[in-house]
């Protein structure tokens, strides 16, 4: 439930709640290389939060910290007000955090339907015997999972390719299927790693629409990394900017694009 005391309504009428996740003084090292240096920021419930910066800024490393793939040497991660212990990625997923990847990570030989179904793994709790015999709890679980999957397929408008092997799909549709797999987990926080990378203008418009609809219709909080500044400025409620592992800006799109340090390090010129 959103924190009604610490919430506000955006200019377009959406409600942004209290802090869902907070990163406090995160430092991440790989040997002698410091990928992230003392960064703090939060993600508020119901918002679209962008993480931007030049190549090598540490954005993907930060996303990997949030999703549990990397464990920082210093600092703490808080989720729903509680300090998160060191967890494996599947444990983080069970908390309600799902993600897509910069490089598509789908099962090419499996159908669209089966790929999206893998996103339900954290919701499958019936025993091996009941699954094998498909009775009792397993039957009810399968029915409930199918309902979620069908909702995702309809939402993403991919009914016509549901039985098509993913390896046969064009790039833009593969990205949509990967989004579908993440949505199948019914996440509280959805992490998108460069969702527009490699897309043409039409595909970017479609993906932007789906991201906005996920946030609006499902109420899903979204954190994304993206290099297309037009997309970032149009979609995001707030933007955090990284450069060489440090935070150099944090605020609304307007505040960030008028931040001289951000302009000098990344944007080059202010975007009107």
The CATH number that applies at residue 76 is: 3.40.50.300
Specify the pLDDT at position 137.
61
Eight-class DSSP state of 271: -
Specify the pLDDT at position 271.
42
Specify the pLDDT at position 61.
95
| Angle 204-206-207 from CA coordinates, rounded to 5° | 65
Residue 119 inside a domain? The answer is: yes
With tokens 């910066």, the residue in question is 53
Among positive and negative, which fits the CA dihedral 160, 212, 118, 196?
positive
| Boundary (domain end) residue, out of 186, 208, 233 | 186
Same-domain pairing of 82 and 119: no
- What DSSP element (H or E) covers 242? strand 238-243
The residue ranking higher by pLDDT, 137 or 262, is: 262
The residue ranking higher by pLDDT, 77 or 267, is: 77
User: Phi/psi of residue 49, each to 5°?
Assistant: -110, 120
Specify the pLDDT at position 121.
79
Same-domain pairing of 14 and 81: yes
Specify the pLDDT at position 1.
32
Is residue 225 over pLDDT 80?
yes
| Total tally of structural domains belonging to the chain | 2
Residue 209 inside a domain? The answer is: no
What's the pLDDT tens digit per position in 86-130? 999 989 999 999 999 877 778 889 999 999 988 887 766 644 444
What's the pLDDT tens digit per position in 1-50? 334 345 666 656 666 789 999 999 999 999 999 999 999 999 999 999 99
Total residues belonging to the chain: 272
Reduced to 3 states, what is the DSSP secondary structure of residue 196? coil
Mean pLDDT throughout 239-263?
94
End-to-end alpha carbon distance in the chain: 36
Eight-class DSSP state of 165: B
Tokens of 238: 């707030």
Is residue 198 over pLDDT 90?
no
Reduced to 3 states, what is the DSSP secondary structure of residue 83? strand
Same-domain pairing of 2 and 65: yes
Same-domain pairing of 170 and 242: no
Angstrom distances, CA of residue 263 to CA of 184, 217, 255, 268, 269: 38, 34, 11, 5, 6
Residue 207 inside a domain? The answer is: no
Specify the pLDDT at position 202.
92
Q: Tell me whether residue 185 is exposed, middle or buried, using C-beta atoms within 10 angstroms of its C-beta: 0 to 12, 13 to 18, 19 or more.
A: buried
Count of other CB atoms within 10 angstroms of residue 245: 23
Tokens of 192: 């998108």
With tokens 């212990």, the residue in question is 85
Cβ-proximal residues to 98 (8 Å cutoff; 6+ apart), any chain? 119, 182, 183, 185, 187, 189, 190, 191
Averaged pLDDT of the chain: 87
pLDDT band at residue 266 under the 50/70/90 scheme: confident
Q: What percent of the chain has pLDDT over 90?
A: 69
With tokens 């996920």, the residue in question is 214
Specify the pLDDT at position 12.
61
| Rounded distance between C-alpha atoms, residue 150 and residue 138, angstroms | 18
What's the pLDDT tens digit per position in 177-188? 999 999 999 999
Same-domain pairing of 1 and 91: yes
The residue ranking higher by pLDDT, 168 or 103, is: 168
The domain of 133 spans 97-186
| Rounded distance between C-alpha atoms, residue 108 and residue 199, angstroms | 19
Beta bridge partners of 225: 51, 193
Q: Range with the lowest mean pLDDT among 56-70, 122-136, 138-152? A: 122-136
């Amino acid at each position: 439930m959103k924190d009604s005391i610490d919430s506000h309504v955006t200019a377009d009428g959406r409600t942004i709640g209290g802090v869902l996740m907070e990163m406090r003084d995160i430092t991440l090292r790989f040997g002698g290389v410091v990928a992230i240096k003392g960064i703090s920021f939060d993600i508020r419930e119901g918002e679209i939060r962008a993480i931007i910066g030049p190549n090598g800024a540490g954005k993907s490393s930060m996303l990997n910290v949030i999703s549990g793939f990397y464990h920082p040497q210093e600092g703490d991660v808080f989720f729903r007000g509680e300090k998160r212990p060191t967890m494996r990625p599947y444990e983080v997923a069970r908390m309600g955090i799902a993600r897509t990847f910069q490089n598509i990570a789908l099962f090419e030989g499996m159908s669209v339907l089966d790929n999206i179904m893998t996103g339900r793994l954290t919701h499958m709790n019936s025993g091996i015997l009941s699954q094998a015999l498909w009775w009792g709890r397993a039957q009810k679980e399968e029915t409930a999972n199918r309902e979620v999957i069908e909702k995702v397929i309809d939402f993403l408008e991919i009914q016509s390719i549901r039985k098509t092997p993913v390896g046969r799909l064009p790039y833009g549709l593969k990205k949509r299927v990967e989004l579908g797999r993440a949505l199948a987990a019914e996440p509280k926080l959805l992490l998108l790693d460069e969702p527009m990378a490699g897309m043409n203008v039409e595909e970017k418009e479609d993906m932007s629409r789906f991201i906005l609809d996920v946030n609006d219709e499902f109420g899903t909080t979204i954190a994304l990394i993206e290099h297309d500044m037009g997309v970032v400025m149009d979609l995001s409620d707030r933007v955090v900017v990284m450069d060489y592992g440090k935070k150099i800006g944090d605020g609304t799109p307007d505040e960030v694009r008028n931040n001289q340090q951000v302009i000098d390090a990344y944007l080059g010129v202010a975007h009107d």
